């Protein structure tokens, strides 16, 4: 079982969280149509460190950004993301 250290609630089971997307796949208002399509449909699936956006859906409902090793699931950094829901 993977534990995710929520900055608001402390360590919780990953089942309480919902993965959203890698942080680099977040679209911005000034992205071109090609960039939007690339971010939505053709993301890389790298082995190693990945900066990701998750939500503590069954907890405080806050968005968090974490750095996770996609091979080992080791989490090396967690930060609150945006305003608390």
- Judged by CB under 5 A, does residue 80 bind Zn ion? no
Distance CA 12, CA 6 (A): 7
CB 59, min distance to Zn ion, A: 4
CB 74, min distance to Zn ion, A: 20
Q: Pairing relation of β-strands 49-55 and 18-22?
A: antiparallel
Binders of Zn ion among 46-65, rule CB under 5 A?
56, 59-60
Q: CB-wise, 59 or 67, nearer to Zn ion?
A: 59
Q: Is the dihedral of CA 9, 66, 38, 72 positive or negative?
A: negative
């Amino acid at each position: 079982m993977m534990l995710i250290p929520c900055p608001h609630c402390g360590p919780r089971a990953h089942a309480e969280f919902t993965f959203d997307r890698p942080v680099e796949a977040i679209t911005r208002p000034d992205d071109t149509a090609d960039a939007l399509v690339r971010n939505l449909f053709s993301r890389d699936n790298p082995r190693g460190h990945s900066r990701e956006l998750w939500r503590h859906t069954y907890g405080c409902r806050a968005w968090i950004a974490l750095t996770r090793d996609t091979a080992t699931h080791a989490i090396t950094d967690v930060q609150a993301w945006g305003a608390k829901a």
